Chain A
């Protein structure tokens, strides 16, 4: 039974120095998700009570200013924290992205001779230190201190939030206003905190120009994603992408509505060059339609395949690096092909949140639903080549189709219908008349 759930990681990032406000909340995304400002990415692996969370880290500033405070539901040991690989998250992002597919109309004259029309399907990647004695006196216990990759990790527990907040302040961390209340609430719920900050020397040695994602593995009934700390000093809505990997099926929230993004829509051909704008405006419109309270399902699919593929499915090795612990490690023993079925189901959720509309942390659950879903948008190129027959009927039909696509696009994005029409390359036939021809008009043709 998969009702159980986890907790993890609300994340508030704080600047060590006064110069940096740092970024507040989750991490800023790369690649495809970078079209949104203030976006962050989290990979959640969940099976039973076991959870592995990977938090992408796209902090763009002086790394000496970087630190992150993460609430965790249990005491964490050294082996439970790891530093992951951003490239794998980028790959997962690309694999699950909403996608644009292109079809090309075949020669209409040939079609008449063939009943079956073959369609070419082509996938486009969618645009693509601390003194411990002092600490103890403030009611803060540094339970453990580790060095993981380029990070120094401190695991804290505090009897009361004041102690933790005071300790953070004394150590040069700037914390958002109101954080003490949220921290206090989490502490009363028996959660612990860890602080990750960058060890400059190790970071230099590692040779990475950016901060790699932090990973934590733990076991807890709670399956949730704390977002409250992240909303504290955010003036605007933030975007969060959750990539959930499970054995059973789709993941959804139990305390907010999970809504499917409109999908399989035919849209005008010019959107091919404007896909990022299209997707951003469509998403904004959907958020509004759900009164800013919806969580959007963008992808739900069995990890062993895709159709069409925006990127190849992740390899077993990549999945293991994200924490998919139930996949056997074949890397040492098996050098030939990986197993066909990975038994991993991926869910991509996209939420745009703020404190007003998302007062409570996201509570998640696994469902048994393995129905595939993808955000898929279709452009159909009209036939423009030479033809051996009269194309008037084809052009009329194309014109009608293009008009439908224009209206579809306007309703999905809120773009101006006349501007859309102006960008469509209509065939050179008169616009279809709105009033239908009388029934007898073609009677004796």
Chain B
């Protein structure tokens, strides 16, 4: 693959941005990331990816996706037991090979691993408050994330989710008679933005058509809102994404599209865009 082809692959940007966050989180925000967990997650993820590649008879070993998954896990999942970190990486990558519908994996790997771990162990948790809510850092995260998105040309999932979730938060505040500072505070959350830009936007697990993706994003936002303010569970978007993941194949079935491949422009929608731009 030459350099231009590499630059076309948005995952390099994604890795760069996520690495920046991990570094910033460790150095400036005291995230409580344990280096040994990070190392174990990366090694396990690469090994499982390699084993899966062999078993599935794929043409080549692709280290980028497991690296991204490892970074997301490192960024979001906290555990005080290093074995749990390894299990998380195992669950994440193996879910890609084992849980598939219409030749696409169903769950975002890091997302499903985080939920499985949290539901099954007291020793795994998410520290979503640790990002703080300084507007400036939220802005920086958003912008950097958006670069990733525009490379992937899949911004509608993120925009659909954030727009709908924000509407629901503001609507709730108006209904309750709360000051608008409350929904603003709720949106200024680094973990929410990381979720919106780096997790729900995963082209491999979202519907293939733009309309499908927007519908899907709205649905995730509604479920997340219900979990957060109906069941009073924190980190609701993470749970909502797992709960709604099986919906993506159904939407795909109803609105036929073409499966995303990481480099090159292969979807029907994107080919159209290219055509228009030329």
Contacts and interface: CB of A to CB of B under 8 A. Distances in A.
Contacts of A363: 234
Interface stretch (A257-265, A396-404, A406-414, A415-423): A257-265
Counting chain B CB atoms within 10 Å of each CB, which of A189, A258, A359 scores highest? A359
Interface in A158-203: 181, 184-185, 188-189
Given A2-B122, A257-B132, A359-B185, A367 B127 contact: yes
Nearest to B179: A359
A252 B120 CA distance: 20
B234 A370 contact: no
B131 A257 contact: yes
- Looking at chain B, what size class is its interface with the partner chain? 35 or more
Interface range for A: 35 or more
A338 interface: no
A339 B132 CA distance: 40
Interface in B160-195: 175-179, 181-182, 184-186, 189
A369 B185 contact: no
Contacts of A291: 134
B234 A368 contact: no
A207 to B, nearest CB: 41
Contacts of A3: 118, 125, 233-235
21 contacts: A1-B121, A181-B177, A184-B176, A188-B176, A221-B233, A223-B232, A252-B130, A255-B185, A256-B132, A257-B29, A257-B129, A259-B30, A291-B134, A294-B132, A359-B184, A360-B182, A360-B185, A360-B186, A366-B125, A368-B121, A370-B80
Interface of B: 29-30, 32, 78-80, 118-125, 127-134, 175-179, 181-182, 184-186, 189, 231-235
Contacts of A222: 232
B70 to A, nearest CB: 21
Contacts of B124: 368
Contacts of B130: 252, 257-258
Contact of A258 (B120, B129, B175, B189): B129
- Ranked 10 nearest A-B pairs via Cβ: A368-B123, A359-B181, A185-B176, A221-B232, A254-B234, A257-B132, A367-B125, A222-B232, A254-B129, A248-B122
Given A5-B233, A252-B130, A359-B185, 15 more contacts: A1-B121, A3-B234, A3-B235, A188-B177, A223-B232, A254-B235, A255-B189, A256-B129, A258-B129, A360-B182, A365-B234, A366-B122, A367-B127, A368-B80, A369-B32
Contact of A1 (B79, B119, B131, B179): B119
A4 interface: yes
A3 B117 CA distance: 12
Contacts of A4: 232-233
